[in-house]
Chains A and B, each alone.
Chain A
């Protein structure tokens, strides 16, 4: 029964990891930007949520209505300015720029909010509550909600990309930027929209993590970014459902590792990550793209 429990917990945690990962995957898939500041931006979103809740007294759960648009706007602006100007030079520069962004954000957070850890909505029944399945399996409401949110976000992203005008343009620009320009599309604007989407999902990831665990200025790089990378690589780059699968595989591996020995939790996840990199570098779900 303990093993069943581990797997169920792992699958549900996978939803959180998929939420971490989908923005990273989207930005790489569309503009070939490996955003090393991805995790830090999630933390920023979490801190914004804490601030918004404290100042405006909106219900904790509804804080995303403010935080997501703010982060999306930030994404558009950052993409159109800092990231685009780096992209115009080279892919390596974008790596350096996002790394720089990551360092600046982390130190900024340390400066203004100290290294103390913070959590969002502690004490909410949703965050702390759980229900039991059978006699031994206890499932937290929060993880179920986060998993559902991840699925809804992925469905929404997929629908947007496949059915909307801008979704189509995003895919077209990802395929062939120049040909899209010839059709009248300003790829910088399209990149900005893709970044806004990615940052919107990052905001949800940050809020979810702030409720699930605790946020510190360094959480972005030492947890969120690494788990996001692992989920993306395991699932397969460019595939949205791959990120969910990757997240779930990572989550299950961690829980099984923890079941063997509690200190092996994180290590087990990375061993699977490494195994996929070696044995199936294209990821579990591989989307073939035509030239």
Chain B
């Protein structure tokens, strides 16, 4: 059982990790995405230092942390854009650590990169068509994206530079959705967007999840992450400082994990094996 496997991690895990687990994760079973002991270097810098996480089907798994905590690096490594020095990435039990990014995308690990990264000389529709080029079979089609985001249809022949930031972000999400990912990786959706727009984009999440996707997202805005996530994972300087369901942690614990306040950590250390 997943909770028991989690117990093993506790023994080898760093003392600073807060895991106030009071029971098995509701989404227990086989993890859809499993990252173990991931170490990533940017040159000399150890950007990620032994990150382990398990994302279960249907979850919204949020990675939070300050600037430079390694959140984006983690997502990019899962997508295959960085090569880990150590550790592995598994999709549905299958090791994908050595696969190139395009292979991973075709297997259903699709990243919406930070800064949206739309194709600037392509129209909105062409951006979606590129996303569709190597799509897995599934519920999402370009037509479905148009149905979900109805403004997009009438602006489909425009260049993406003519869209607002929020609209561009939506196109970037649409481009990822048409590939029918199993795990959708969302990197800093809220970056550079007005709060109202961010709310609207996160408001679409339930619709996306309803089609059977699993979401792993990175978010700097902690309150936003706590609102949407079924599980949160806090990073600080490349290490895990907190892993929990949002309901099981206090604001103070999250704050301590986020900023690395040492005194808060021991108070919430996990107490041994969890009760199912």
List chain A positions with a Cβ less than 8 A from chain B: 165, 168-169, 171-172, 174-176, 178-187, 289-291
Contacts and interface: CB of A to CB of B under 8 A. Distances in A.
B106 A184 contact: yes
Interface stretch (B27-35, B90-98, B123-131, B200-208): B123-131
Contacts of A175: 119-122
A171 B80 CA distance: 22
Interface in B159-202: 159-161, 175-176, 179
Interface string B81-114: 1000000000000000000111001100011010
A171 B211 CA distance: 31
Contact of A183 (B100, B105, B120, B160): B105
A165 B119 CA distance: 15
A184 B134 contact: yes
B118 interface: yes
B79 interface: yes
A187 B126 CA distance: 17
Given A172-B122, A183-B130, A290 B105 contact: no
Contacts of A182: 79, 81, 101-102, 105, 110-111, 113, 117, 176
Interface in B113-153: 113, 117-122, 126, 129-131, 133-135
Interface of B: 79-81, 100-102, 105-106, 110-111, 113, 117-122, 126, 129-131, 133-135, 159-161, 175-176, 179
Given A181-B101, A182-B101, A184-B106, A176 B133 contact: no
A174 B122 CA distance: 11
Contact of A290 (B81, B110, B120, B135): B120
A185 B120 contact: no
B129 to A, nearest CB: 6
A176 B117 contact: yes
Contacts of A176: 117-120
B117 A179 contact: yes
Contacts of B81: 178, 181-182
Contacts of A184: 102, 105-106, 133-135, 179
A172 B127 CA distance: 8
Nearest to A189: B102
Interface centre among B113, B130, B133, B160 (most CB of A within 10 A): B130
Q: Shortest 6 CB-CB distances between A and B: which pairs?
A: A184-B134, A290-B120, A290-B161, A179-B117, A184-B105, A175-B119
A289 B100 contact: no
Nearest to B132: A183
Contacts of B179: 183-184
A181 B81 CA distance: 9
20 contacts: A165-B129, A168-B130, A168-B133, A169-B133, A171-B122, A172-B130, A175-B120, A175-B121, A175-B122, A179-B117, A179-B118, A179-B119, A181-B81, A181-B105, A183-B175, A184-B106, A184-B135, A185-B134, A187-B102, A291-B161
Contacts of B129: 165, 168
B163 to A, nearest CB: 11
Contacts of A180: 119, 130
Contacts of A169: 130, 133
A178 to B, nearest CB: 6
Interface centre among B102, B117, B120 (most CB of A within 10 A): B102
Contacts of B111: 182
A251 B45 CA distance: 56
Contacts of A186: 100, 102
Contacts of A171: 119, 121-122, 126
Nearest to B178: A183
A168 B134 CA distance: 13
B133 A165 contact: yes
Given A168-B126, A178-B81, A179-B113, A185 B102 contact: yes
Interface centre among B117, B119, B126, B135 (most CB of A within 10 A): B119
A103 B80 CA distance: 38
Given A168-B129, A183-B131, A178 B120 contact: no
Given A178-B117, A290-B161, A183 B134 contact: yes
Interface centre among B80, B105, B121, B160 (most CB of A within 10 A): B121
B77 to A, nearest CB: 13
A290 B116 CA distance: 13
A34 B124 CA distance: 30
Contact of B119 (A172, A181, A187): A172
A288 B176 CA distance: 26
A187 B101 CA distance: 11
B245 to A, nearest CB: 29
